[in-house]
Amino acid sequence: MELNFENITKSYKNKQVLKGISLTMGTGVYGLLGPNGAGKTTMIRIMADVLRPEKGSVTYNGNDIYAAGDEYRANIGYLPQDVSFYDDFTGRDYLEYSAALKGMEKKRAKERIGELARSVGLSDDLNKKCTAYSGGMQRRLGIAQALLDDPKILILDEPTSGLDPYERIKFRNIISAYAKDRLVLLSTHIVSDVEQIAAQIMMMEHGIIQHVKTCEEYIRMMEGRVWLVNMPAEQLVDYQNRAVISNVRAKDGCMVVRVIEDAKPDGGAVQAVPTLEDAYLYLFNYLPEKNGR
């Protein structure tokens, strides 16, 4: 399987939000990481064929997805970033309705709904109104909807927003198992969502995919760039304005500051084991004064 983006651009009014996206995806989990406003949702909507690009092409196994139309869309499971529910729909109504839209046969739909409700932990809640669900339950219902027809391409936009830590772990396990022979694209600004399951992690900013690497490659790139420095609290304010700080912890009346710097900082710094989050902060250069934070 191969899904290919070739020089995709998209503008809203006169603002270009995608500036030439080219990439190739096969089976496995792809993580799309980037700050709010990077263009993740725009890219995802183009991939899900709910939005057309200005220029460029998207092909699936060599065929233009827009020419293929329904034939392409039959392969897609899509969880939009914002899902709204009809007031009087129960969880079951919503899934049955979604199954009907996908053209699923009734008996199979019923089986899949049962299976998926179990796997996302909603079996006991299917007869309740969606509008009475918590944010996490609505998200899990959305995930079940996206998985209904066993799509070859699963596209999830911020799937874990509103999920608690346990739900997040369960979600990761479902997706990992699912992606064995399928393509899953998952957008998020939460680094730990993709850290453990994505084969490839794309980092996107300002409408461009800036980096595509494995988690291990990002971490290797950060070796020798992450440090722990002890300093008094008074010094921290000034330091925060010049260095990328990924964590601060108080210990024995002092601050232990985790800092990202190319060279060893002064003050008895010791090297720390890097994480994907360090790479994210480093590559997006989260200097407070640069970002106005």
Ligand X SMILES: Nc1ncnc2c1ncn2[C@@H]1O[C@H](COP(=O)(O)OP(=O)(O)O)[C@@H](O)[C@H]1O
How are strands ordered across the β-sheet holding 254-260?
A: 244-251, 254-260, 226-231, 270-271
CA 219 vs CA 29, 216, 222, 272, 283: distances in Å: 18, 5, 5, 11, 12
Q: E strands, 179-243, where?
A: 183-188, 200-205, 208-213, 226-231
Residue nearest to Mg ion (CB): 41
Write out the two tokens for 270: 């010791």
Least CB distance to ligand X at residue 39 (A): 4
Stretch that binds Mg ion, among 4-12, 73-81, 192-200, 268-276 (CB under 5 A): 73-81
> Could you say which of 26, 37, 224, 288 contacts ligand X (CB under 6 A)?
37
Least CB distance to ligand X at residue 14 (A): 11
Read out DSSP for 4-28?
EEEEEEEEETTEEEEEEEEEEE-SE
Stretch that binds ligand X, among 36-44, 63-71, 111-119, 190-198 (CB under 6 A): 36-44
The number of residues that bind ligand X (CB under 6 A) is: 10
Question: Binding to ligand X by residue 188, rule CB under 6 A?
Answer: no
> Could you say which of 5, 8, 41, 104 contacts ligand X (CB under 6 A)?
41
As beta bridge partners, residue 3 has 25, 60
Question: Binding to Mg ion by residue 41, rule CB under 5 A?
Answer: yes
Least CB distance to ligand X at residue 263 (A): 32
Residues in the chain, total: 293
Closer of 206 and 264 to Mg ion (Cβ): 206
Say how far apart CA 271 and CA 289 lie, in whole Å.
25
Least CB distance to Mg ion at residue 157 (A): 6
Helix (H) or strand (E) holding 76: strand 76-79
Stretch that binds ligand X, among 34-42, 67-75, 147-155, 279-287 (CB under 6 A): 34-42
Closer of 34 and 91 to Mg ion (Cβ): 34
Q: Which residues bind Mg ion (CB under 5 A)?
A: 40-41, 81
Q: Which residues bind ligand X (CB under 6 A)?
A: 12, 17, 34, 36-42
